[in-house]
Structure formats: structure tokens, C-alpha cells
Amino acid sequence: MRSCDICPGGEACAGLNLAPVLVRVFDLYADGKTNKFDILFSLDEDEEEMLETYTANVRSACWTRAALSAIAEVLVRREAERAAGGDWRAIVEDTLASAKAAYADFPWHLPDLVEQAPDLHAQVLERVSDSGFGGAIPKRLFAKICKATVYGYLKE
């Protein structure tokens, strides 16, 4: 994943530190909290502190890295759904569409979902234990799904 030009790297990277907050935002959105203020008021003190700490001088690239890392985490968590008979393609499409909506009020650069699709795919591939992800969702198909999510057209 790309970092901003002034990224301090490691544990000080805003993108890495904001990712867990965006996972929580995704979960709240999926649970029906779609109003940005309801979501913000639902964050716990630690998450609020992370937002306060890591949003000073944060750039769009940082938010994008956080969003893409959060999407990878959500896809890895949804592996159990796949094991229960779910379809990886449907899971990926649903996750990306939900993330696009959940993160709409954050200053991430949505087109980077397309540009960084290979990196995102690799990140998910190395973290899932189901070897079927790579077979069901090869890198090229993943990039097409990302493009469809960003630009609004679906299916091949």
C-alpha cells in the first residue's frame, strides 16, 4: 500500500493506525448506523483518541491506506462466511460496495481502490487461510470488481 510523502513509517504511520477505526466504522455502517454523526458518537474513547492523534497533518494517501487496510481486514474476517458456503465474488463485491458507502464521508481517494487493487489483493491473499480465494478471485478479476465498484458498473 502506498504511504504519503511525509510518512514516518512503522508504528507512527497514520494510515496503519487509522485502519482499525475504519474497520469499526465499517462494522457500525453494516449494523445500520449510516449517519456520520451516529457513527462518530458510537466510537469508544480509544478510537476517538486515535482519530485525534493521527488526523493531524494527515493526507488523503493516509486515509486511503487506512481504508484499503480496513477493507483487507474485513475480507479476511469474512472468510468464515465463505467457509459456510458463501461465494467469494459476492463477498468481495458486497464488501467493496459497503466500504465505498461507509467511507464516503472520509477523505480517502476512492480511485486508488483501482490503482492499488493488486496490492490489496496480495494483502488479502497472504492473510486468508482459504486457498480458494486466489482461485475464485484472481488478481485480474479482483481489479475488475474494484473498478466496477469505483465507477459504478457491475458484472462482466
- What pLDDT was estimated at residue 139? 94
Q: What is the pLDDT of residue 156?
A: 47
Contacts of 79 (CB under 8 A, 6+ apart): 128, 129, 130, 133
Residue 120 has pLDDT above 60, yes or no: yes
CB 103 within 8 A of CB 23: no
Whether the CB-CB separation of 80 and 63 falls below 8 Å is answered with no
C-alpha cell at 11: 508504528
Instruction: Assess whether pLDDT exceeds 60 at residue 88.
Output: yes
Q: Which of 103-107, 125-129, 150-154 has the lowest mean pLDDT?
A: 150-154
Q: What's the residue count for the chain?
A: 156
CA distance 18 to 43: 13
Q: Identify the pLDDT of residue 84.
A: 74
pLDDT at 21 over 90: yes
DSSP state of 43: S
Question: Rounded mean pLDDT of the chain?
Answer: 87
